[in-house]
Structure 1
Amino acid sequence: MPGTLSRRQFAASAAAAVSFPALLRADAPKAAGDAVAFFLVGDTHFLANKEDAAKLDERSAAVTSRLVDVLNKLPGTEIPKEAGGGTVLAPRGVIHAGDCIDTGDKANVKMQETEWAAFRDAYGLTGTDGKLKVPVYEVHGNHDSPRGDGLAVKKIVERNKTRPGVENVSKSGVHYSWDWGGVHFVNLGIVVGQAADPARKRRYAPLGSLDFLVGDLKEKVGTSGKPVVVTHHVDMLRYAQPLPVEDKKAEGMEWDPADVRGFHDALKGYTVAAILYGHTHARNVFRWDGSNTAARDGIPTFNVDNSSHFSGKQQAFFYFEIRGDGLIVREYHTGDAWETGAWTPQTWTAPVAPAKK
C-alpha cells in the first residue's frame, strides 16, 4: 500500500522507538501460587519442496524439527540470571500465533497437504501424538488461509473437536477458548472482526472472531476478574487508525481499522494479562491502549519473532509464566537455525492487575 510501512519496517521502527522496560513495570509482584507456564511460537512456515511437492523442503525440515527439539528439552533447565533466573517450568502447552504452513495462500494444494502433514507430525495435538511433548493451540495466519477456506483452516476446525481442554468453540469452528489454571485463553485466528459498521469487504476473513470474543468473555469470564490471554496472527498498531477510514483504503489493509477498534472495545472491563501475535517476523513488546503507537499504559502485548522460517538463521520464541498477580516473559533465540540457542539477556514483567472500572 503506498505510503504505508511494511510489517517488518513497522515492527523495526516501533521497537527502535520504544524501550519495553519503560512500558511494563520491572517490579511486578512475584505472588505465590501455581504458575501457568507456556511457550509462544509463530511463523513456522513449513514449506514443501517446489520440485517435488510430496517432500518437505530440506531447509524447512531441518529448522522446524530442531525447534521442536528445543521446546521439548527446555523444561527443567536453568535460566541464567541475566534472563531472570529460575528454572523452566513444565509448560501447559505451546501456543502458535499462525502461519503454521507457507503456501496456504497459493493454489498448490499438494504442497499444502505436505506442509500440513509435516506440521501435524511435528506438533501433534495432545502432546502424545506428535514429536512435541505438550499440547499445541494454533491459530491460522495469512500463509495458512487468508480467506479462511483453505486446507489449514479445515484442519484446525477438525482439531478443535478433540483439542485438550477446549471449553468453547465458535460457530465457524475456527475460534476457541480454554482455561489453564485460573487464566482464560482465547484463540481468534488471523484477525479479530467483523464490526457491524461499516459493512465493507475485509481483505482477510475474520470468520466471526469479534462476535465470538464478545460472547466468550461474557460467558466464560464475566465479572470474575479472571486474567485473559488473547492470541491472533496479524499486528494491530499499523491498523489502529482514527475512524472513519475510506472504504477503498480499508479494503486493502490486512486488518480493517473499524475491527481493530471493535477488538479493543471488546476487551474493556476485563483483566487482559497479554495479547499475543506473530506475522511481522520481528520481536516487538509494548503496551497497547487502542492507538497506533506503543503506550505507557495499556494491555501488555507480545509480538513473537518467526520461530522456524526456512529462509533465515535468526529465529526466536517466548516463554511465559503467569504467577498469581504477576507476568514474566523471556525470549529464547538462535542465530543458526536452532543448531544452538540461548536466552535473550532480558526479562519483561508486568502486574496482572484488575481492569479499571
Structure 2
Amino acid sequence: MNDRTFLPLSRRALLTNILSFGVVSSVRPVFAATAAKSPWPPIDATFLFTADVHTCLVSGGTLSPNCEQEGKTDANLLRHVAAVNRIAEFDWPAEIGGVATGLAGAGQKIATPLGIVIGGDMTDDGGGQVKVPGEGHQLLQFSSRYQQGVGPDRVHFPVYNGLGNHDLDQDGMPPHIDWYRRELRDYVELNHRQTVFYKPPVAVANYDIESDNYSWDWGGLHLVQLQRFGGDTTKGAIGGLEWLGQDLAASAADGRPVVLFQHYGWDAFSLEKWDSAKSTFDDEGSGHAHWWSDDDRAALLAVLKGYNVVGLFHGHEHDTPMIYKQGDLDLFKPIATYKGGFALARITADYMDVVLAQAQGDAGDVTFLKAFSKRLG
C-alpha cells in the first residue's frame, strides 16, 4: 500500500464528511459570455470524465483476488488523482504524437474543471461487502479518493457519481440479496439528491428516485447521468427512459447542447452477444446480449431523437482509448481509471473539444492520447 493509506470510516463518519464537503468545498461555476446570441445562458464548461475506478479493498489493506495482478491498487488510484488535480497546469495540446490536434482551444491554458463525472464501476465487487451486510470497504475507499476534498489523496473537484455492472450486478447472501445494490444507490442519492431539508455535497437540479438518473446544468449546457445505461432494468433496476424524456423536454427543447454519461457504450465489448459455437460471449455471437441489447439501445436513441446531444461519454472497456460515432452520436471512452485514464472536455456555444489522456508516474504528469473537436451551433 502507498504510505497515504485509506482509513476505513463508519457510515456516520462518511455522512459527516459528505455533509461537511458539501458546505465548505463546493465550487461555484463561472461561465464566460460568448459573442453568439442564443436562447439559453452562456456556455463555457470544462470538465473531466473517468470510468472503471474498480476500488478493490475488502478489509484494511487486503485486495480482492487478482486485483493486485490487474493493477487495481490504491497506489494507481493515487497516481490518477494526482494527474487530474494538476490538469489546470497544462495547455490544450496543439499536437499529439507529432500530429496537429485541430482543437479549437489548442495552446490555451486548461481551465479549472467544474467537476469530474464517473462513468460506472466505482467499485470492483458491489462496494466490497462480505457475507453479512456491513460497511463496504471498496465504497469507503472510493469515497476517500473520489469525493471532493483537499490534499494529495483525493480529487479537488465536485464528483458526479455513476454506477456500472460491477457496482450493481452482484447478489448478496440470502436473505440480503439486494444489500450491495442498495448501498451503492444510497451513496449516489446522498451525494446528489437535494430536498427541502438536506443539501448534498454536489446538488443536482433533477434527480429521479426510481432510476437514480439525474441531470444538472452548467450555464446553457445540460448534462445527464444515466448510470449503467439509459433504460436499465437489470437486477431489479427501474428504467428511467420516461424520466429522461421528461427531463429533456423540460430542459433541452430549446436546442441547447446536451451531454450524456453512462457505463455501457457501442464498442465491441459493450455489444457482446452469446456465441453458442464457442460457449462464451464475444463480438461474433448472435445470441442474447451480454450487457445491453439492440432493443435497449434503440429505445434510448428513440428518446434522444430531436435533441441536440453533442456527445455521450462511457466506460466498461478498460484498455483502449476510443473516440468514435454511432450514427450521428459522438462517443468518448477513456482508458480505465485504475490504468490512469480520463477524458477532458471543453464545451462552449461555438465548439466542443475533447482529449483522452492518461496519468504518468507519481508526480501528476499527463500524456495526451487522442483529440476531437467539432463546431457547435
TM-score range, shorter chain: 0.7 to 0.9
SS of corresponding position for 1:344: strand
CA distance in 2, matches of 1:220, 1:79: 30
Partner of 2:79: 66
- 1:164 Cα offset (Å): 2.6
For the aligned residues, what is the CA RMSD? 3.0
Which of 301, 305, 317 matches 1:280?
Answer: 317
Native 8 Å contact 1:144 1:153 kept in 2: no
Q: Do structure 1's residue 118 and structure 2's residue 131 form an aligned pair? A: no
- 1:34 Cα offset (Å): 5.3
Which of 345, 352, 355 matches 1:327?
Answer: 352
Partner of 2:9: none
Q: 1:128 to 1:212 in 2, by over 3 A?
A: farther
- 1:154 Cα offset (Å): 2.2
Partner of 1:234: 264
SS of corresponding position for 1:132: coil
What letter is aligned with 1:87?
Answer: K
SS of corresponding position for 2:255: coil
Q: 1:351 to 1:249 in 2, by over 3 A?
A: same
SS of corresponding position for 1:143: helix
CA distance in 1, matches of 2:129, 2:187: 17
What letter is aligned with 1:342?
Answer: V
- 1:315 Cα offset (Å): 3.0
- 1:321 Cα offset (Å): 0.4
- 1:208 Cα offset (Å): 2.0
Which of 254, 261, 267 matches 2:298?
Answer: 261
CA distance in 2, matches of 1:44, 1:276: 15
- Higher CA-based Rg: 2
Q: 1:317 to 1:284 in 2, by over 3 A?
A: same
Which of 123, 140, 159 matches 2:163?
Answer: 140
Native 8 Å contact 1:80 1:343 kept in 2: no
Native 8 Å contact 1:191 1:209 kept in 2: no
What letter is aligned with 1:142?
Answer: N
Q: 1:318 to 1:112 in 2, by over 3 A?
A: farther
Native 8 Å contact 1:203 1:254 kept in 2: no
Q: 1:111 to 1:316 in 2, by over 3 A?
A: farther
- 1:256 Cα offset (Å): 2.5
Q: 1:348 to 1:56 in 2, by over 3 A?
A: farther
Which of 157, 161, 167 matches 2:189?
Answer: 157
Partner of 1:188: 226
Q: Taking every aligned residue pair, what percent have the same amino acid on both sides?
A: 23
Partner of 2:61: 55
CA distance in 1, matches of 2:141, 2:291: 27
- 1:259 Cα offset (Å): 1.6
Q: How many residues align?
A: 291
Write out per-residue CA displacement over residues 313-336 of structure 1, whole angstroms, 9 at most, x where no aligned residue: x43211100022210111221466
What letter is aligned with 2:241?
Answer: L
Q: 1:304 to 1:212 in 2, by over 3 A?
A: farther
Write out per-residue CA displacement over residues 245-301 of structure 1, whole angstroms, 9 at most, x where no aligned residue: xxx944x53113212101111111111111010001122111212xxxxxxxx1111
What letter is aligned with 2:183?
Answer: L
Native 8 Å contact 2:360 2:366 kept in 1: no
- 1:163 Cα offset (Å): 4.4
Native 8 Å contact 2:228 2:263 kept in 1: yes
CA distance in 1, matches of 2:369, 2:321: 14
- 1:69 Cα offset (Å): 1.6
CA distance in 2, matches of 1:105, 1:124: 15
Native 8 Å contact 2:321 2:370 kept in 1: no
SS of corresponding position for 2:186: helix
CA distance in 2, matches of 1:276, 1:218: 21
Native 8 Å contact 1:185 1:230 kept in 2: yes
Which of 232, 239, 243 matches 1:208?
Answer: 239
Q: Do structure 1's residue 78 and structure 2's residue 94 form an aligned pair? A: no
- 1:181 Cα offset (Å): 1.6
- 1:182 Cα offset (Å): 1.1
Native 8 Å contact 1:204 1:254 kept in 2: no
TM alignment of 1:100-111, pairs within 5 A: 100-104=122-126, 108=130
SS of corresponding position for 1:230: strand
Partner of 2:337: 307
Write out per-residue CA displacement over residues 98-120 of structure 1, whole angstroms, 9 at most, x where no aligned residue: 11111118862679711111111
Normalising by structure 2, report the TM-score.
0.69
Normalising by structure 1, report the TM-score.
0.72
Give 5+ residue unaligned stretches, structure 2. Answer: 1-33, 37-41, 97-105, 171-177, 194-199, 273-285
Q: 1:288 to 1:143 in 2, by over 3 A?
A: same
SS of corresponding position for 2:310: strand
SS of corresponding position for 1:215: helix
SS of corresponding position for 2:89: coil
What letter is aligned with 2:252?
Answer: V
Write out per-residue CA displacement over residues 131-172 of structure 1, whole angstroms, 9 at most, x where no aligned residue: 221100021001111278342222112222214340101132
CA distance in 2, matches of 1:236, 1:79: 27
Give 5+ residue unaligned stretches, structure 1. Answer: 1-29, 195-201, 242-247, 290-297, 309-313
**More moved, 66-75 vs 341-350:** 341-350
CA distance in 1, matches of 2:370, 2:165: 30
Partner of 2:16: none
- 1:190 Cα offset (Å): 0.5
Partner of 2:374: 350
CA distance in 2, matches of 1:166, 1:179: 8
Partner of 1:172: 210
